[in-house]
């Protein structure tokens, strides 16, 4: 459901003239569906891979901890939480400027350049020897959004090249290839014919009035003063407290570490990180498909928040001394709920905010303000609270999800009324 948006100024020399009747575009049309499949096959593999590299780092530091990161670097207690938080500090500071640069310059160059920066900083992380070095690298890693490779396989590399297993986490990027693989804006995409470019641009205009336009600072100001943009940001803030490291902390402290203490090897404990992500991926795919079929997003975000809240309540009522199947089910419930909600809400402003510059700033604001919640989530899951089943952090987490639920309901009601008034 789209919100009202400002339309971009006409370019003096548009590269493509859209002559088709935009009102006649039918999403079920065979030609349209073939076009979208072509776009998907050209965009999704490389962009998904880049995002995967970006995402794995923030999750894999927990696996690196199991492989001896804190022991080798001398990081103890709450200082580990501080290292986690510093990643998000750098992320929050640079997210908006990075998206403005993306709009002003060529994404075909900018995105691979960022990926190359991730790789360089990640290599530096592999040679960290002390706490100060870890703090510095985590901050700059946040600014560059570094990505890693799979933790279980990395653990098998212990001793390779004279390095401990955790130190291999940062290696293995493919940024150089991205310079040739990442396409530009629709009107410049080399894999599209002129007719396909015109049709795709018309679809984009029909969906969100968001075709290519010149960068103007007024669009930045519009994003900063739009109450819906702030609502999207606060919505992610509620979910982000539990995203990334916060959920990883639950898993590491309540599950993996406990299993290690009762004799399960570290490598086997690493494998326990797979099912939550696998279940979350399935839930995201199903929810995204249903949201597309019924053209409804808010109801699925609300459902995801409720599932996460129920999972936390059940965790509060569970005795962590006896980690049985029930607690495993509760942990999976939390992960599936929060991850699914994150996937749906992060794409919401991209669908409703236009033109492109305003959209880019809106998405950056959403992530920056949202990740302030991630910082809170990292800092509240402290080792000294583990003896009390993390009761206080769980309660705070429930509060964040309730807040996100309320914001979602408000956005849903506001957009429904706005749509009815048209």
pLDDT of residue 117: 74
pLDDT of residue 317: 82
- In this prediction, residue 200 has a pLDDT band, given cuts at 50, 70 and 90, of confident
pLDDT of residue 183: 63
Q: Answer with the residue of higher pLDDT: 89 or 400.
A: 400
- In this prediction, residue 67 has a pLDDT band, given cuts at 50, 70 and 90, of low
In angstroms, the CA 305 to CA 337 distance is: 6
Q: How many CA atoms lie within 13 A of 54 on its CB side?
A: 19
Give the range among 28-32, 225-229, 245-249, 288-292 with minimum mean pLDDT.
245-249
pLDDT of 194 above 90: no
pLDDT of 172 above 60: no
Q: What are phi and psi of 127, to 5 degrees?
A: -110, 15
Give the range among 207-211, 214-218, 329-333, 418-422 with minimum mean pLDDT.
207-211
- Taking the whole predicted model, whether its pTM rises above 0.85 is answered as no
Contact residues for 81 (Cβ-Cβ < 8 A; gap 6+): 378, 379, 381, 382
pLDDT of 281 above 80: yes
- In this prediction, residue 300 has a pLDDT band, given cuts at 50, 70 and 90, of very high
pLDDT of 65 above 50: yes
31 DSSP assignment = H
In angstroms, the CA 350 to CA 47 distance is: 16
Q: Tell me the pLDDT of the chain averaged across its residues.
A: 72
pLDDT of residue 44: 79
> What value does the mean pLDDT take over residues 59-83?
71
Q: Answer with the residue of higher pLDDT: 289 or 276.
A: 289
In the chain, what are the domains?
31-212 (1.20.1250), 222-422 (1.20.1250.20)
pLDDT of 245 above 50: no
In angstroms, the CA 378 to CA 241 distance is: 8
pLDDT of residue 166: 41
Q: How far is CA 310 from CA 181, 335, 380, 389, 415, in A?
A: 42, 11, 20, 16, 27
pLDDT of 263 above 60: no
- In this prediction, residue 170 has a pLDDT band, given cuts at 50, 70 and 90, of very low
pLDDT of 154 above 50: no
Is 4 within 8 Å of 220 (Cβ atoms)?
no
pLDDT of 23 above 50: no
pLDDT of residue 164: 45
pLDDT of residue 57: 61
Considering 18-32, 302-316, 357-371, the range whose residues carry the highest mean pLDDT is: 302-316
pLDDT of residue 287: 93
> What value does the mean pLDDT take over residues 309-338?
74
Give the range among 177-181, 326-330, 350-354 with minimum mean pLDDT.
177-181
Give the range among 113-117, 163-167, 249-253, 405-409 with minimum mean pLDDT.
163-167
Q: Which secondary-structure segment (H or E) carries 185? A: none
pLDDT of 167 above 50: no
- In this prediction, residue 327 has a pLDDT band, given cuts at 50, 70 and 90, of low
> What value does the mean pLDDT take over residues 277-306?
91
- In this prediction, residue 213 has a pLDDT band, given cuts at 50, 70 and 90, of low
In angstroms, the CA 404 to CA 299 distance is: 13
In angstroms, the CA 361 to CA 358 distance is: 5
> What value does the mean pLDDT take over residues 206-220?
65
> What value does the mean pLDDT take over residues 4-20?
44
pLDDT of 399 above 80: yes
Q: Answer with the residue of higher pLDDT: 143 or 295.
A: 295
pLDDT of 206 above 90: no
Give the range among 205-209, 338-342, 390-394 with minimum mean pLDDT.
205-209
């Amino acid at each position: 459901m789209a919100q009202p948006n400002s339309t971009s100024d006409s370019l003096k020399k548009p590269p493509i003239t859209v002559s088709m009747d935009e009102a006649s575009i039918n999403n079920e049309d065979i030609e349209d569906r073939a076009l979208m499949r072509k776009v998907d096959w050209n965009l999704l593999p490389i962009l998904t891979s880049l995002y995967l590299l970006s995402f794995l780092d923030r999750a894999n530091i927990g696996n690196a901890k199991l492989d001896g990161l804190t022991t080798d670097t001398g990081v103890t207690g709450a200082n580990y939480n501080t290292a986690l938080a510093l990643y998000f500090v750098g992320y929050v500071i640079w997210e908006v400027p990075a998206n403005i640069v993306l709009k002003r310059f060529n994404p075909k160059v900018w995105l691979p350049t960022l990926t190359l920066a991730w790789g360089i900083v990640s290599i530096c992380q592999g040679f960290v020897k002390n706490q100060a070095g870890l703090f510095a690298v985590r901050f700059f890693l946040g600014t560059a959004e570094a990505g890693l490779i799979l933790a279980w396989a990395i653990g098998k590399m212990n001793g390779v090249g004279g390095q401990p297993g955790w130190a291999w986490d940062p290696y293995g990027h493919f940024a150089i290839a991205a310079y040739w693989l990442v396409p530009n804006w629709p009107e410049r995409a080399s894999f599209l014919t002129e007719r396909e470019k015109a049709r795709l641009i018309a679809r984009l205009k029909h969906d969100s009035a968001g075709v290519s336009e010149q960068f103007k600072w007024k669009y930045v100001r519009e994003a900063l003063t739009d109450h819906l943009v702030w609502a999207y940001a606060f919505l992610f803030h509620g979910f982000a407290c539990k995203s990334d490291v916060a959920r990883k902390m639950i898993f590491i402290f309540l599950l993996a570490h406990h299993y290690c203490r009762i004799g399960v090897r570290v490598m086997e404990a690493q494998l326990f990180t797979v099912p939550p992500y696998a279940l979350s991926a399935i839930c995201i795919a199903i929810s995204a498909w249903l949201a597309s079929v019924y053209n409804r997003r808010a109801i699925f975000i609300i459902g995801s928040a409720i599932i996460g809240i129920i999972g936390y309540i059940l965790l509060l009522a569970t005795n962590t001394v006896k980690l049985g199947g029930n607690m495993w089910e509760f942990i999976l419930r939390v992960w599936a709920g929060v991850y699914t909600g994150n996937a749906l809400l992060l794409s919401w402003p991209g669908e409703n905010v236009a033109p492109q510059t305003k959209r880019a700033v809106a998405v950056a604001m959403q992530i920056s303000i949202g990740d302030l919640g991630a910082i809170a989530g990292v800092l509240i899951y402290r080792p000294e609270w583990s003896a009390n089943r993390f009761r206080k952090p769980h309660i705070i987490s429930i509060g964040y999800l309730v807040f996100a639920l309320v914001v979602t309901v408000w956005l849903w009601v506001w957009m429904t009324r706005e749509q009815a008034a048209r």
